[in-house]
Amino acid sequence: MYKVKVFVTLKESVLDPQGSAVKSSLHRMAYHEVSDVRIGKYLELTIDGPAESLDHRIQEMCHKLLSNPVIEDYRYEVEEVVAL
């Protein structure tokens, strides 16, 4: 069994209005040291499948459903979980 952590972020060139809103809020709350905020998605998938095709299948899922490749980048980390 694998636990896969997927991070989906907006590409650098894409505006992030949600991040700007959070930054403004932080400034209003006197956290003026925050100079930038970017917001993305974080997904944890639990996968029961063979190790061989794992990377390929994860990349497919990210491309087809979990991210929008036009405006978003993704990266992921795979962790093997030993069943107790």
Which residues form the interface with a second copy (CB under 8 A)?
1, 7-9, 19, 22, 25-26, 29, 31, 33-49, 57, 60-61, 64-66
The minimum distance between CB 67 and a second copy, in angstroms, equals: 12
The minimum distance between CB 56 and a second copy, in angstroms, equals: 12
**Sign of torsion, CA 19 20 24 25?**
negative
Of 64 and 70, CB closest to a second copy: 64
Burial of residue 80 (number of CB atoms within 10 Å: 0-12, 13-18, 19+): exposed
30: left (phi over 0), alpha (psi -120 to 50) or beta: left
The minimum distance between CB 70 and a second copy, in angstroms, equals: 19
**Angstrom distance (rounded) from CA 59 to CA 19:** 26
Of 15 and 64, CB closest to a second copy: 64
Of 36 and 70, CB closest to a second copy: 36
